[in-house]
Structure 1
Amino acid sequence: MSGINDREKGFENKFAHDQEIEFKANARRCKLLGLWAAEKMGMDGQEAEAYAKTVVVADFEEAGDDDVFRKVRGDFDAKGVELSDHLLRKQMDDLLIKAREQIRSEG
């Protein structure tokens, strides 16, 4: 019985670790997206960093990526940045892959 319990505990630990990695990757992706979007809107330095933080915070509004998408899409529209929804979502996907790689390489 002990072997089964150890195996179950191992799966639980792996699941918790994977969830932590994914949480960190999502936060990193939002920051990277915010910095990228800030550059598109003509921001740099502290202004770009501050904007990136607002994108990270936007991710806590609801589950999934729609809250982040709406935030950046709305800001792009307000600033007159022309970029299709498809390309914005593709950038979000690409940056999530990059963020996962960065997080894994740090650990």
Structure 2
Amino acid sequence: MSQFEDRQKGQEAKFAFDAEKKFKAEARRNKLLGIWAAELLGLTGDEARNYAAEVVAADFQEAGDEDVYRKIAGDLEAKGLSVGEAAIRQKMLQLTQTANEQIAAEG
């Protein structure tokens, strides 16, 4: 029974580690996405950092990426910028990979 319990604890630890890594990568992706959008919106310095933080916070509205997409798309549209859905989603994918690489490099 001890081997089974050890294996179960190991699986639980791996699950928790993977979930934490995924959360960090998503938050990092959202920050990078916020910085990208801030540049498009003409924001710099503290305004750009604050906007990136708003994008990170937007992800807590619902599960999945739609809340982040709506935040970015809505803000760009409100500013009169025509950045298509495909371009935003492509940037999200690209930055997901970048965030995963950065998190992995940090160990």
Q: TM-score, normalised by structure 1?
A: 0.97
% identity of equivalent residues: 55
User: Counterpart of 2:83?
Assistant: 83
Q: Deviations over 1:28-59 (max 9, x none)?
A: 11100000000011111111001000000100
Quote the Cα distance in structure 1 between the aligned partners of 2:81 and 2:22.
30
Structure-to-structure mapping, 1:55-70, within 5 angstroms: 55-70=55-70
Residue 60 of structure 1 and its aligned partner are, at CA, apart by 0.3
The residue that corresponds to 2:49 in the other structure is 49
Give the superposed CA RMSD. 0.7
Code of the aligned partner of 1:29: R
For 2:71, the equivalent position in structure 1 comes to 71
Structure 1 Cα separation of the partners of residues 67 and 28 of structure 2 = 16
Letter in structure 2 aligned against 1:58: A
- Cα distance in structure 2, aligned partners of 1:2 and 1:81: 61
Distance in 1, matches of 2:83 and 2:28, equals: 22
Query: Quick check: 1:7 aligned with 2:7?
Result: yes
Structure 1: stretches of 5+ with no match in the other structure: none
Q: Which residue of 1 aligns with 2:94?
A: 94
Residue 25 of structure 1 corresponds to 25
Query: Which structure 2 segments of 5+ residues have no match?
Result: none
The offset of 1:4, in angstroms, is: 1.2
**AA matched with 2:60:** F
Which residue identity lines up with residue 47 of structure 1 in the other structure? E
Bigger RCO of structures 1 and 2 (CA < 8 A, at least 6 apart): 1
